[in-house]
Structure 1
Amino acid sequence: MTSKVTVEAFRTADAAGVAEVRRAAVPYLVCTAESVVWEAESAPAACRVRWLVARDSGGRIVGCADTGLIAGSTEPDQGYLHVAVRPDAWGLGAGGALVAEAERRLAALGASRAWTWVPDDGRSPGFAERRGYVRGRRACFLGLDLADAPLPEPPSPLPDGVELRTYLDFADDRRPLYEADLEATADEPGDVRHGFVPYDDWLRLNWDRPDIDHRLSSVVLADGEVASYSVAQTDGRERYWSGMTGTRRAYRGRGLARLAKLDSLRRSREAGRTRAFTGNDAMNVPMLALNRSLGYTEAAAEWRYSRAI
Structure 2
Amino acid sequence: MTVIVRDLRPDVPADTEGFARVRALALPYILFTPESVRHTATRIHPDARYRPLVAVQDGEVIGTAQVHLVHDSPDPGQGCLNVYVRPDRTRRGAGRLLVRAAEEYLTAQGATKLFAWALDEPANRAFAERRGYTQGRSGHFLRLDLANGTLPPLLDVPPDVELRTAADFAADPRPLFELDAETMLDEPSDVTSEFTDYDAWIAENWRHPLLDRDLTTVACVGGRPAAFTVVYTDGGARYSTAMTGTARAHRGRGLAKLAKVHSLHRARAAGVTEAFTGNDTGNDPMIAINKWLGYEICATEVRYVRELG
TM-score range, shorter chain: over 0.9
Q: Which amino acid aligns with 1:20?
A: R
Q: Does 1:107 align with 2:102?
A: no
Give me the whole-angstrom Cα distance separating, in 1, the residues matched to 2:120 and 2:49: 28
**Equivalent in the alignment of 2:200:** 201
Shift of 1:40: 1.2
- Larger mean CA deviation between 263-272 and 173-182 belongs to 263-272
**Equivalent in the alignment of 2:215:** 216
Shift of 1:197: 2.6
Give me the whole-angstrom Cα distance separating, in 2, the residues matched to 1:40 and 1:232: 21
Give me the whole-angstrom Cα distance separating, in 2, the residues matched to 1:170 and 1:256: 19
Give me the whole-angstrom Cα distance separating, in 2, the residues matched to 1:206 and 1:269: 24
Give me the whole-angstrom Cα distance separating, in 2, the residues matched to 1:117 and 1:240: 22
Shift of 1:289: 0.3
**Equivalent in the alignment of 1:267:** 266
**Equivalent in the alignment of 2:19:** 18
Shift of 1:217: 0.5
Q: Which amino acid aligns with 2:92?
A: L
Q: Does 1:55 align with 2:56?
A: yes
Q: Which amino acid aligns with 1:33?
A: P
**Equivalent in the alignment of 1:37:** 38
Contact 2:237 2:271 in 1 (8 A): yes
**Equivalent in the alignment of 1:229:** 228
Shift of 1:87: 0.7
Shift of 1:205: 2.6
Give me the whole-angstrom Cα distance separating, in 1, the residues matched to 2:190 and 2:231: 24
TM-score, normalised with respect to structure 1: 0.96
Residues 226-274 of structure 1: CA deviation (Å, up to 9, x unaligned): 1000011111101111000000001111010001111221122222211
**Equivalent in the alignment of 1:166:** 165
Shift of 1:196: 4.1
**Equivalent in the alignment of 1:278:** 277
Shift of 1:71: 4.0
**Equivalent in the alignment of 1:299:** 298
Give me the whole-angstrom Cα distance separating, in 1, the residues matched to 2:286 and 2:175: 23
1:91-130 aligned within 5 A: 91-130=91-130
Contact 1:79 1:114 in 2 (8 A): yes
Give me the whole-angstrom Cα distance separating, in 2, the residues matched to 1:21 and 1:73: 29
Residues 117-154 of structure 1: CA deviation (Å, up to 9, x unaligned): 01001110110011111110111101100123322332
Q: Which runs of 5+ in 2 are unaligned?
A: none
Aligned partner of residue 61 in structure 1, secondary structure: strand
Give me the whole-angstrom Cα distance separating, in 1, the residues matched to 2:253 and 2:61: 48
TM-score, normalised with respect to structure 2: 0.96
Contact 1:71 1:197 in 2 (8 A): no
**Equivalent in the alignment of 2:239:** 240
- Larger mean CA deviation between 282-291 and 189-198 belongs to 189-198
* CA shift in 2, pair 1:285/1:183, >3 Å: same
Shift of 1:74: 2.7
Contact 2:43 2:204 in 1 (8 A): no
Contact 1:25 1:86 in 2 (8 A): yes
Corresponding residue pairs, total: 305
Aligned partner of residue 30 in structure 1, secondary structure: coil
Give me the whole-angstrom Cα distance separating, in 1, the residues matched to 2:235 and 2:226: 27
Q: Does 1:143 align with 2:143?
A: yes
Q: Identity of aligned pairs, percent?
A: 48
Residues 251-302 of structure 1: CA deviation (Å, up to 9, x unaligned): 1110100011112211222222111111100000000000000000100001
Q: Which amino acid aligns with 1:248?
A: A
Q: Which amino acid aligns with 1:179?
A: E
Residues 57-78 of structure 1: CA deviation (Å, up to 9, x unaligned): x221100111111242231121
Q: Does 1:77 align with 2:77?
A: yes
Give me the whole-angstrom Cα distance separating, in 1, the residues matched to 2:147 and 2:197: 38
Aligned partner of residue 122 in structure 2, secondary structure: coil
Give me the whole-angstrom Cα distance separating, in 1, the residues matched to 2:252 and 2:127: 41
Q: Which amino acid aligns with 1:217?
A: T
